[in-house]
Amino acid sequence: MAEIRNYTVNFGPQHPAAHGVLRLVLEMDGEVVQRADPHIGLLHRATEKLAESRTWIQSLPYMDRLDYISMMCSEHAYVMAIEKLCGIEVPIRAQYIRVMFDEITRILNHNFGLGTLGLDLGAMTVFLYCFREREDLLDCYEAVSGARMHAAYYRPGGVYRDLPDTMPQYQAQYSRNARTLAQMNANRQGSLLDFIEDFTERFPQCVDEYETLLTDNRIWKQRTVGIGVVPPELALARGFTGPMLRGSGIAWDLRKKQPYEVYDRLDFDVAVGRNGDTYDRYLVRVEEMRQSNRIIKQCVDWLRKNPGPVITDNHKVAPPSRVEMKANMEELIHHFKLFTEGMHVPEGEAYAAVEGPKGEFGVYFISDGGNKPYRMKLRSPAFTHLSAMDQMARGHMLADAVAIISTLDIVFGEIDR
Amino acid sequence: MTPRLQRLSDTIEKVLGLKPVERTGELTLEVKAADYLSVAQTLRDHADLRFDELIDLCGVDYSTYGDRPRERERFAAVLHLLSVEHNRRLRLRTFCPDDEFPLLPSVIEVWPGVNWFEREAFDLFGIVFEGHPDLRRILTDYGFVGHPFRKDFPISGHVEMRYDPEQKRVVYEPVTIEPREIVPRIVREEQYGGERD
C-alpha cells in the first residue's frame, strides 16, 4: 500500500484571499486542514516603539494606518486614552460628531468586510454593491478631513474642526455630459449633514440589496453555515470581542455595557447570533450596519439643532484659534509650546477602549509626565481573533479556511502594528 | 472612586488580601511573580470576580522611566482583564524578579487567548514565559537578533538589509543612518507653567 503522508501548504503571504500579508502554514491531510499556523509580522512597523519617540499629537496619524479599513475608530481610542489621563472634558458636539463618524466607519468596515467575504466565496456582485456605498462614505471622510482614508480628524479634547457646509462635487469630464453631472451632484448641493442624511435614507435599501443576494442564497449558505463554529466558552477563553463574540451568542457590546461618549443617549439594538458560525457572524454584521444607520440618523438630527464648540478650550491641549493667537500673548505662548514641545500628559497610566467594527480596540498608555508617551500598547481585536485560527480551521476543507480568514475580518495593519 | 469600583476593590481585598490602586477610574493590582499564577487563577474562577476574558498582555521596560534612577525591577507584564459576567475591568501588573533573565510563569492554562500576547512580549522584550508551549518570535523577522522594544534598542535598529548582486543574496550590514530626534523628550516638574500662588 502506498504511504500517505500529510503535506504542508504555504498559503500567502501573497494571496488575494489572505487579506494582506498573512502567511498561513497549513498542514493538510488530503484537502482537510490538520493544523494551521499563521505567521504574522510581515507588516510590522513598530508603531508602538515609534510613538515613544514622537509627541502625543504626532502619533495620532499612525492610528489611521493601523486598521486602514476602519480608520477613525482607532483614532478614537487613542484620543480617549489621552483625555482620560489628562482629565479633559470633550464638548458635547464633538462627542456627537465622533459617534457619528464611528458609526460611519463601522458601515465602511462592514461594507468592506462583507464585500471581500463575498469575493472570497465567489460572489462578485455583492463586492461591487458594497463598494458603491463605501465610496459615498469615503467622500464624507474627505469632506470633513480632506483625506479619503487617513483622516487624522480626532484630536485630544475634540475634533479638528466643525462639519463643513459644502460637499466636494464631481467635476466635468469628457465622459460625463451635463445631465449626468447634475445627477451625480444632486445630493451634494447642501452641507455634509444633508449628504449624510440623504445617505441614511437610501442605505437601508442598499442593505436589502445585499441581503437579497446572499441571505437566502443556497450556495452562500452551503459555504457559510456550520463553518468556523466558535462556541461561546471558546470565544471567551480566546478573548474574542465584537461581532466574533456576539456571533457566538454573547450580548457584549461596549457601546451598551460600558458606554463612552454619547452612546447612552442613543437608541440602538445589539445584534446577537446563535450558532457562532460564519453565517451568523454575517447576519450580525449586516444587522450592525442597519443599527449604525439608525445611530447616524439620530446624530444628524442632534447636530443640526445644536451648534457649539467642537474642541476643548484648554489650550494646554488644543491649540488656540489663529485670531486669539495673533491678539493675545498668553495664547501665542500656548501655541508655540504646543507646536514645538507638544502637550504634557500627567504621570500615570490609562486604558481606553472603543467598540470598533472588528471588536474591542484599546489603547494603553504609560506616561511618565513627558511630552511623549513612555509606552503605548495597542490592543487590536484581529490579533486575538487570528490567534484562534488554528482551532477554528482544524477539520475544515482548504476552501473553508478562506471563508474563516474572511469571517475573522482581519486587517494586517493592526495585527502587525 | 465610584461605589461600583469600591465594591470591586473591596472584593479583591477580601478574596486575595491585596489592595488594588485606583486611578482615572481604573483599578490596578500589583502582584509578586511568585503569586502571579495563583492570583490569575483566583481572578478567573472566584464567583465574585470571574475575570473570564483576557483583553491584553503587554510587556513594559521601565529602565528609563521618568528619566530618574530606577528603584525597582526593569521588566513587567501588564494584563488587562475583563469580566463579561460582572461587567468589570482590572489591570494586573507583575514585575519580573531578575533583570538579566526576565522570567514569569505563563497563564496560558488560565486564559488560552494569552498565547500570542506572551509570544509578542517575548519577542519584543525578551520576557520568557515558563510553561508556554510554543514561545517563538511572532512579529519580528525570521532570524531577528535582539528584543526591539527594550529601551536600549535604538529606533533605527542595528542592521540593515539589502540585496547584494555579486553574492546573489540578501545581506545584512550595520545601519548607516544616524538616529535623529526632532522634538527632544522632556519631563517637566510638577505644576510647570501652572498658576503661581
The pLDDT of residue A96 is 93
A257/B55 Cβ within 8 A:
no
Q: Stretch A298-308: mean pLDDT, rounded? A: 91
Q: What are phi and psi of A265, to 5 degrees?
A: -95, -5
The pLDDT of residue B196 is 53
| Closest residue in B to A254 (Cα–Cα) | B87
Place of cell 460572489: A123
Q: Per-residue pLDDT tens for B45-91? A: 888 888 888 999 999 998 888 777 778 888 999 999 999 888 888 99
Nearest-angstrom CA–CA distance, A247 and A271: 8
DSSP A20: S
Average pLDDT value for chain A? 89
Written as nine digits, the cell of A285 is 454584521
b or e along B176-195 (b: 16 or more beta carbons within 10 Å of the residue's beta carbon)? Answer: eeeeeeeeebebeeeeeeee
Chain A residues whose CB is inside 8 A of the B55 CB are: 239, 241, 353, 360, 362, 379
The pLDDT of residue A369 is 84
Q: Per-residue pLDDT tens for A27-41? A: 888 888 988 899 988
Nearest to A372, CA basis, from A344, A414, A407, A412 = A344
* Cβ atoms of residues A412 and A40 within 8 Å: yes
The pLDDT of residue B141 is 86
Report the percent of chain B where pLDDT is more than 90.
23
Q: Stretch A64-73: mean pLDDT, rounded? A: 88
Q: Stretch A101-126: mean pLDDT, rounded? A: 90
b or e along A96-116 (b: 16 or more beta carbons within 10 Å of the residue's beta carbon)? Answer: bbbbbbbbbbbbbbbbbbbbb
Nearest-angstrom CA–CA distance, B192 and B197: 13
| Closest residue in B to A385 (Cα–Cα) | B113
Is the pLDDT at B166 greater than 90, yes or no? yes
Q: Stretch A213-240: mean pLDDT, rounded? A: 89
Measure CB to CB from residue B56 to each of A240, A337, A379 and give the nearest one. A379
Q: Per-residue pLDDT tens for A36-55? A: 899 988 889 889 999 988 89
For chain B, list residues whose CB is within 8 angstroms of any CB belonging to chain A. 23-26, 28, 52-56, 58, 60-61, 65-67, 78, 80, 84, 87, 89, 91, 111-116, 137-141, 148-149, 155, 181, 183, 185-188, 192-193
Omega prior to A232 cis, within 30 of 0: no
Nearest to A55, CA basis, from A350, A304, A338, A396 = A338
- A370 lies within 8 A of chain B by CB: yes
- A353 lies within 8 A of chain B by CB: yes
Nearest-angstrom CA–CA distance, A77 and B111: 25
φ/ψ region of A293 (left if φ > 0, alpha if ψ in -120 to 50, else beta) reads: alpha
Nearest-angstrom CA–CA distance, A17 and A266: 37
Q: Per-residue pLDDT tens for B127-158? A: 999 888 988 889 988 888 889 999 888 888 88
DSSP A242: T
Q: Are strands B103-105 and B128-130 parallel, antiparallel or unpaired?
A: parallel
Report the percent of chain A where pLDDT is more than 90.
29
**How many Cβ atoms sit within 10 Å of the Cβ of residue A145?**
22
The kind and range of the H/E element at A390 are helix A389-393
Q: What are phi and psi of A26, to 5 degrees?
A: -110, 130
Is the pLDDT at A211 greater than 70, yes or no? yes
Nearest to A252, CA basis, from A352, A353, A360, A95 = A360
Q: Per-residue pLDDT tens for A143-157? A: 998 888 898 899 998
Report the percent of chain B where pLDDT is more than 70.
96
Helix A278-305 vs helix A92-120: crossing angle, to nearest 10:
150
The pLDDT of residue B194 is 63
Enter the pTM of the model: 0.90
The pLDDT of residue B195 is 59
The pLDDT of residue A1 is 63
Q: What are phi and psi of B76, to 5 degrees?
A: -140, 155
pLDDT band at A272 (very low <50, low <70, confident <90, very high): very high
Entry field: residues in chain B: 197
**How many Cβ atoms sit within 10 Å of the Cβ of residue B2?**
9
Q: Which of residues 308-337 of A touch B (CB under 8 A)?
A: 316, 337
Chain A residues whose CB is inside 8 A of the B112 CB are: 237-238
Q: Stretch A364-389: mean pLDDT, rounded? A: 90
Average pLDDT value for chain B? 86
Nearest-angstrom CA–CA distance, A372 and B181: 12
ipTM score? 0.88
Number of H-type helices and E-type strands within chain B: 3, 9
Say how many CB pairs under 8 Å bridge A and B: 124
Is the pLDDT at B24 greater than 90, yes or no? no
Q: Is B36 exposed, middle or buried (0-12, 13-18, 19+ CB in 10 A)?
A: buried
b or e along A269-289 (b: 16 or more beta carbons within 10 Å of the residue's beta carbon)? Answer: ebbbbebbbbbbbbbbbbbbb
Q: Per-residue pLDDT tens for A311-341? A: 988 888 888 888 988 999 988 988 998 888 8
Spacing of C-alpha A400 from chain mean position: 25
Is the pLDDT at B20 greater than 90, yes or no? no
- A350 lies within 8 A of chain B by CB: yes
The pLDDT of residue A208 is 92
Q: Are strands B75-83 and B88-95 parallel, antiparallel or unpaired?
A: antiparallel
CA distance A268 to chain B (A): 20
Q: Is the dihedral of CA A207, A213, A219, A221 positive or negative?
A: positive
Q: Stretch A392-403: mean pLDDT, rounded? A: 88
Measure CB to CB from residue A40 to each of B89, B138, B183 and give the nearest one. B138
pLDDT band at A207 (very low <50, low <70, confident <90, very high): very high
Nearest-angstrom CA–CA distance, A35 and A58: 42
Is the pLDDT at B197 greater than 60, yes or no? no
